[in-house]
Amino acid sequence: DGGITQSPKYLFRKEGQNVTLSCEQNLNHDAMYWYRQDPGQGLRLIYYSQIVNDFQKGDIAEGYSVSREKKESFPLTVTSAQKNPTAFYLCASSLTQGAIGYTFGSGTRLTVV
Amino acid sequence: EDQVTQSPEALRLQEGESSSLNCSYTVSGLRGLFWYRQDPGKGPEFLFTLYSAGEEKEKERLKATLTKKESFLHITAPKPEDSATYLCAVQAIIQGAQKLVFGQGTRLTINP
């Protein structure tokens, strides 16, 4: 079955550490996205990629980095510069960047310890 | 400013008690309005897409409607398994790029 796989489901980070969240899709979608979700707030866009080797900052990119070396993969690194990283992170994809409708992964919950 | 606002933030109903959730938006260049269901600790699950004012879509106990400024998600005779957070999102052209802008969600609880 086609879909988006995010791993790990739960991740714990110590202060000052960088951590990388994985997102893999087998939908043959060109565009991929990372969102952050905090309690009582809507999903906020961190980064998006329209095509391999290209990505753009979203609304809250500070303290995060991404890469898009393969069509199927769009990993997100939460760096030590992100002051409040505890959140639920969601990866999504769409056929193209302008396509109607996104497919979401099941999310990664990151907690700073 | 492009914005999507959902109300109420939380809603508690008895099983069988019908109600509506609201999503109001102030974006230009609307390409579509989406409703998603999200269970705790999971990703959003697609429910409906609406494209133009006057459009309606139904799925089981849910019915979504769209006007020029807002959308409603009507829930008829809900069951406990309908308990979830319902997210509204609009896809629009913002600063020259296609973006999906989300509301903060309505947390719905159906008591048996």
Mean pLDDT of B60-86: 96
The DSSP line for B16-37 is T--EEEEEEEE-SSEEEEEEEE
Contact list, A42 vs chain B (CB under 8 Å)? 4, 87, 89, 101-105
pLDDT category at A41 given cuts 50, 70, 90 is confident
Q: Do B98 and A97 touch (CB under 8 A)?
A: yes
Q: What is the pLDDT of residues A43-72, one digit of tens each?
A: 999 999 999 999 999 999 999 999 999 999
The minimum CA-CA distance between A113 and chain B, rounded to whole Å, is 19
- For residue A102, give the amino acid letter: Y
- The reply to whether B34 touches chain A by the CB within 8 Å rule is yes
Contacts of A109 (CB under 8 A, 6+ apart): A9, A10, A11, A87, A88, A89, B41
pLDDT at site B19? 98
For residues A27 and A78, give the distance between their C-alpha atoms in angstroms, rounded to a whole number.
25
CA atoms within 13 A on the CB side of B40: 5
Measure CB to CB from residue B44 to each of A33, A45, A104 and give the nearest one.
A104
A–B interface: beta-carbon pairs under 8 A: 52
Residue listed under structure tokens 């707030």 = A41
Contact list, A39 vs chain B (CB under 8 Å)? none
Q: Chain B residue with minimal CA distance to A34?
A: B100
pLDDT at site B5? 95
Checking DSSP bridges between strand A64-66 and strand A87-94, what pairing results, if any? unpaired
**Residue A1: pLDDT over 70:** no
CB atoms within 10 A of CB B54: 9
Average pLDDT of chain A, as a whole number:
92
For residues A110 and A9, give the distance between their C-alpha atoms in angstroms, rounded to a whole number.
9
Q: What is the pLDDT of residues B75-88, one digit of tens each?
A: 999 999 999 999 99
CA distances from B43 to A3, A82, A93, A109 (A): 12, 23, 12, 11
B100, B90 contact by CB (below 8 A): yes
pLDDT category at B1 given cuts 50, 70, 90 is low
pLDDT at site B100? 87
**Residue B8: pLDDT over 90:** yes
